[in-house]
Structure 1
Amino acid sequence: MVRDESCIGCLGVLIIGTRGSAGPGEALVKVRGGSETFLAWSDTPLPKDTRVLVIESRGARTVDVIEWDEIAGGGV
């Protein structure tokens, strides 16, 4: 599997909530001058519409995310 490192550090929003270790959700991520969808895994369940930060790529079209707090994250 080829990692997509260009998406690491990018922001997005969950369009399907994650279920923690029970399964992925789906995130719309701002990357490469546009927006693309990725399967999104997180350590804990996150609801739909949560803003997220991509912290790792698991391979093509699959990423690890954490909740992104705009205030704590510098408003990016």
Structure 2
Amino acid sequence: MHSDLSPAGRTGVLLVGTRGQRGPGEVLIRIRGGLETFLAWSDTELPKGATVLVVESRGRRTVDVVAWDASEPPSQ
């Protein structure tokens, strides 16, 4: 189970696609009773609108994400 304060383990949708090592995108995540945006980094390019899983937090407003199949719940 993830903490209500941590984005790690949550799924979200990319508002701005990621560019792999060339730069971050932006992800919208349901957290702390609302919706918040975070800078999103990924190893590969991911398109706008992709569902992603937050695998790690890089600090207060930046996360690492991977592509996620929305039909599967995230592991707890």
Scaled by the length of structure 2, the TM-score of the pair is: 0.85
- Runs of 4+ displaced beyond 2 Å: none
Q: Are 1:25 and 2:21 matched, yes or no?
A: no
Count of residue pairs the alignment pairs up:
71
Which position in structure 2 is the counterpart of 1:62?
62
Which position in structure 1 is the counterpart of 2:51?
51
Superposition RMSD in Å:
1.8
Distance 1:74 1:62 in 2: 22
Please list every run of 5 or more consecutive structure 1 residues that lacks an aligned counterpart in the other structure. Answer: none
Distance 2:68 2:33 in 1: 20
One-letter amino acid of the counterpart of residue 13, structure 2 = V
One-letter amino acid of the counterpart of residue 52, structure 1 = V
One-letter amino acid of the counterpart of residue 47, structure 2 = P
Superimposed CA distance per residue, residues 28-53 of structure 1 (whole angstroms, 9 cap, x where no aligned partner)? 01111111000000010000000111
